[in-house]
Amino acid sequence: MSQKILVAGAGGFIGGHLVAELLRQGHKDIRAVDIKPANEWYQHFPQVENLQLDLQLKDACEKAAKGTSEVYNLAADMGGMGFIELNRGLCMLSVLINTHLLMASRDAGAKRYFYSSSACVYNAEKQTDPSVTGLREEDAYPAMPEDGYGWEKLFSERMCRHFMEDFGLTTRVARFHNVYGPNGTYEGGREKAPAAICRKVITAKLAGSHEIEIWGTGEQTRSFMYIDDCITGIEKIFRSDNVTFPINLGSAEKVSINQLVDIVEDIAGIKLKRRYKLDAPKGVNGRNSDNTLIKKTLGWEPNTSLRVGMEKTYRWIYDQMSPGRR
């Protein structure tokens, strides 16, 4: 396993878990890159080459990709719905990362390239009802994705396709559906719903309060994929010979935000009065992953139950928030 592997966005939630998995597999020659200083990375592994680079810049991408054979692009300026609805311009600028990294990977002679897309690429008209059926890969067109973030992801998917067609760079694209788990963001405005709900419940429990604020009506639905399933799926898709198209990577277990709160309350052993902030960012009314295609092509789908994954996530966030730890 002497081929150099680049993980872009390695200081982030998913990138950190991916580097850990590559090390478990026995890979030694790994270059981990992130815009954040090393002391802000969620997971940091001194045994790999760690670089702080702004991958929106072309020369930074060329430095990151030099000598690499395989590239995982997980780098983006993004967060949960509270971030992407209020920072559409910043989200769109992430197109520079994928554009420059594709060019640099091609010029460096890389053989394979992975791009982390998002369920935000899907047509908004298909997500107006909380009882939505699972979104199929073809539901991305005709295009009407999440404004800002979704458009950037959809455009970058096309870039990957055309670099494979025009330049022979093998590209693989996965559309992530709400990834959660330990060693990730749980406060500060960029966190997603599972971590935010855990934080709010833990805050109420530690403070002896009995209230929780929920964005929207709580009836909006989503599916949430545990990080271990995400990493397994990335590797299966990246190594596949037949997944030459963007494919869903998400759980098919649909729940409402109210049901998600129910689960976390049960884990915490507490019941809270719910206050609904109806003017807060809440995204589409319903979104779920149709896993027909991934089961057909890979014989696998994410299978960690939400209850099991949330128990692990809750415990980790509780440890971070405990008075002694802070």
The residues annotated as belonging to the active site are: 149
Question: What is the strand order of the sheet 70-73 is part of?
Answer: 49-52, 30-34, 5-8, 70-73, 112-118, 170-176, 247-249
* Peptide bond preceding 142 in cis form (omega within 30 of 0): yes
Taking CA atoms, 286 is separated from 12, 142, 210, 215, 218, in Å, by 27, 18, 28, 14, 11
221 burial level (CB within 10 Å; 0-12, 13-18, 19+): buried
Rounded distance, CA 93 to CA 270, Å? 42
In sequence order, what are the beta bridge partners of 179?
225
Q: Helix axis angle, 257-268 relative to 306-321, nearest 10°?
A: 60
Rounded distance, CA 310 to CA 182, Å? 9
Alpha-carbon dihedral sign for residues 6, 90, 156, 254 = positive
For residues 240 and 174, is the Cβ–Cβ distance under 8 A? no
Percent helix, strand, coil in the chain, to 5, is 45, 15, 40
Three-state secondary structure call for residue 79 = coil
The DSSP call for residue 172 is E
